[in-house]
Amino acid sequence: MIRNKILTADALTKILRRRGKKRAVFTNGCFDILHAGHVTYLERARNLGDILIVALNTDASTRRLKGTGRPINPLKDRAKVVAALESVTYVVSFGEDTPLKIIQKIKPDILVKGGDYEVKKIVGYDEVIASGGTVRILPFLEGRSTTRIISKAKNHS
């Protein structure tokens, strides 16, 4: 059930303590308007391990990062849509501008970001490496972005 996939950080931490040898992959983002780029990225991330955790920015955090008018969809809706994806094992949210606190708490085996980041500059890099994990960057699916969808929708209204 979808609601069993949407957890608090504390509940997720308890579950992950019992994961055994299963590798936990962690990624984060706003995932405001889910599109093919997101789905492809999350499938690729899941293929790196056994459990895929997606941390979503809260509405306030998204507004601070993306500006007024965002998110388009509230956290509750975004969490439900992301949790419905087969590739996603758990969804958790965070209210800070970065997911550092939640990364420190759950200690993922693999930290993944999409795009053109420099690996060592990814938030949580030091913590994941120090605990024996790895950090990976996955390419974006070219031409797919929430900003582009919003812009296109505004131009057609």
Whole-structure pTM value = 0.90
Helix (H, G, I), strand (E, B) or coil at 79: helix
In tens, the pLDDT along 81-113 reads 999 999 999 999 999 999 999 999 999 999 999
Give Rg (Cα) of the chain: 15
Please give the tally of structural domains in the chain.
1
- Please tell me the predicted confidence (pLDDT) of residue 107: 95
CATH of the domain at 21: 3.40.50.620
> Given strand 51-57, what is the order of strands in its sheet?
90-94, 51-57, 24-29, 110-114, 134-138
Residue 157 confidence class, pLDDT cut points 50, 70, 90: low
Distance CA 84, CA 36 (A): 14
Report yes or no: 8 and 26 within 8 Å, Cβ to Cβ: no
Write out the residue range of the structural domain in which residue 33 sits: 2-155
In tens, the pLDDT along 25-80 reads 999 999 988 888 889 999 999 999 999 999 999 999 999 999 998 899 999 999 99
Residue 131 confidence class, pLDDT cut points 50, 70, 90: very high
Per the structure block, which two tokens stand in for 113? Answer: 């970001």
Distance CA 100, CA 97 (A): 9
